[in-house]
Amino acid sequence: MLQRSRLLNQVPRYSRALLGAQQSVRNLELHEHNAKDLLARHGVRVQRGIVAHTPEEAFNNAVELRATGARDLIVKSQILAGGRGKGTFDTGFKGGVKICDSPEQIQSMTAQMLGNWLTTNQTPPEGQKVSKVLIHEGVDFDREFYFAILLEREYDGPVIVGSPMGGMDIEEVAENHPEALKMIPVDIKEGLTKAKAREMAEFMGFEGEEVISDAMVQMEGLFDLFMKNDCVQVEINPMVQTTKAHYDSKVYCVDAKLGFDEFTQFRNKEIFTWKDETMMDPREAAAEKVGLNYVGLDGNIGCMVNGAGLAMGTMDTISLYGGSPANFLDVGGGATESQVEQAFQILTDDKNVKCILVNIFGGIMKCDIIASGVVNAARSIDLEAKGIPLVVRLAGTNVEKGRQILAESGLTIQSAGDLNEAAQKAAALVN
């Protein structure tokens, strides 16, 4: 995503890791079939498609599409990652997207995908398990474009982004061909005007008044979706112009990636029922259920903090002293003792964690509450028996009372006066 690429270049290493991962926690992402259903509701042109959970279902779906006029048939693995067409399954089978000639071939390709793990350049190393596929009609096209709507801090609101170089990695386009990207801010009070939609359609390279007008209609529908559903991202890659021979040069959105602000769940209840928790890190899902925010990383020092900014500083300071954060876990400003204990359980479920660093600045969250939760969690989980050392830095409201609770606990807890000392101690314990 373009906005993420720009931001990642401005923050240190572990802040980058957090920023990239945190989007997947705070922002709901949908499977392609859900995204396309939502696009269609807003008048955006997409291919007809039907979801299948078995090879037999896929065959029947293909037969139904053929009977209603589909020429080409496509089977697409449904995972929450891009690059599926170039991905590889754990069985060695290559390609999570296949163009097929017949329902029988659709059934055969589906059997190679379902139940197996697909790895792409956007998945974790182990990949994601394919539990369903989308069978949809193909369209013939000879031109591909990129279009997105993003929230851009620089403009205090949404921007539309377009490029004539669709179907490619947009970060690569931004780095190597910046002149091929155009960003236009949109005033939310006046919405996407026809003038701005036309400016973008012409920049992207749509030609002919009829096609330009059609592209504008698709953009207006996408902006309507963006505004009415509390989106933080609408990304179409590619948006295509079909060939005249069969489709009379229509504009289609053939792949869609949507992101929604999770804090707006109360306004978008139906959309949030589409969340696929099987695609989430189990630790992230467990943390979400108890009101915590967890992002897994690849180090060995478990971090428990209150606040995203403090988390970024903590992880970068750990890195500065030669350590490697295993995660970001934010207990927020109003965590209970029970939530702190659950946070420790989630941290210790990661077999890579060799040390836990607690860094709390007490404001709304009081240090004595955190200290009591830490002591109870350490006893309940029996950190000492697990051989996981604990470093705690407290500052702010009721800090002296919190330190007293730690000191009188009878547990082996290493206290630290500031973040530098805490990070040094944690790094030394694992190196």
The per-residue pLDDT for range 46-102, each reduced to its tens digit, is 999 999 999 999 999 999 999 998 988 999 999 998 889 999 999 999 999 999 999
- CB of 252 closer than 8 Å to CB of 280: no
User: What's the rounded Cα separation, in Å, for the pair 426 and 60?
Assistant: 57
Q: 286 or 77, which is more confident?
A: 77
Amino acid at 99: I
pLDDT of residue 194 exceeding 60? yes
Residue 418's contacts (CB-CB under 8 Å, 6 or more residues apart) are: 393, 395
Question: Where does CATH 3.30.1490.20 sit in the chain?
Answer: 48-138
Mean pLDDT of 240-244: 88
Mean pLDDT of 111-122: 95
pTM across the whole model: 0.73
Mean pLDDT of 258-268: 90
Mean pLDDT of 112-116: 98
Select the CATH number that applies to the domain covering 48-138 from these four: 3.40.50.1950, 1.10.645.10, 3.30.1490.20, 3.10.450.50. Answer: 3.30.1490.20
Cα distances (Å, whole numbers) of residue 205 to 8, 144, 197, 256: 29, 10, 13, 20
Question: By C-alpha distance, which of 73, 201, 63 is closest to 137?
Answer: 73
Tell me the pLDDT band of 2, cut-offs 50, 70 and 90: very low
pLDDT of residue 359 exceeding 90? yes
Q: 44 or 171, which is more confident?
A: 44
- Residue 102 is predicted with a pLDDT of 96
- Residue 91 is predicted with a pLDDT of 97
pLDDT of residue 6 exceeding 80? no
Catalytic choice (14, 146, 252, 294): 146
Least confident interval from 112-116, 209-213, 295-299: 295-299
Cα distances (Å, whole numbers) of residue 304 to 22, 283, 325, 361, 369: 15, 14, 11, 11, 14
- CB of 145 closer than 8 Å to CB of 166: yes
Apex CA 369: angle with CA 364 and CA 370, to 5°?
90
- Residue 125 is predicted with a pLDDT of 87
User: What's the rounded Cα separation, in Å, for the pair 132 and 55?
Assistant: 10
Give 376's Cβ-side CA count (13 Å radius). Answer: 14
Mean pLDDT of 200-223: 96
Average pLDDT, the chain: 89
Select the CATH number that applies to the domain covering 281-430 from these four: 3.40.50.261, 3.90.1150.10, 2.60.120.560, 3.40.640.10. Answer: 3.40.50.261
Q: Give the rounded percent of residues in the chain with a pLDDT score beyond 90.
A: 66
Catalytic choice (29, 32, 57, 235): 235
pLDDT tens digits along 385-396: 899 999 999 999
pLDDT tens digits along 326-357: 998 888 777 777 888 889 999 998 899 999 99
Question: Where does CATH 3.30.470.20 sit in the chain?
Answer: 141-271
pLDDT tens digits along 139-180: 999 899 999 999 998 898 999 999 999 988 888 899 999 999
Of 22-26, 42-46, 308-312, where does the model show the most confidence? 42-46
- Residue 146 annotated in active site: yes
- Does the domain made of 141-271 have the CATH classification 3.30.470.20? yes
User: What's the rounded Cα separation, in Å, for the pair 374 and 78?
Assistant: 40
- Residue 14 annotated in active site: no
Q: 362 or 155, which is more confident?
A: 155
Of 14-18, 133-137, 174-178, 242-246, where does the model show the most confidence? 133-137
pLDDT tens digits along 217-231: 999 999 999 999 999
Tell me the pLDDT band of 124, cut-offs 50, 70 and 90: confident
- Please give the structure tokens belonging to residue 153: 């801090």
Cα distances (Å, whole numbers) of residue 317 to 323, 324, 359: 9, 10, 12
Helix, strand or coil, per DSSP, at residue 398 = coil
User: What's the rounded Cα separation, in Å, for the pair 21 and 23?
Assistant: 5
- CB of 358 closer than 8 Å to CB of 389: no
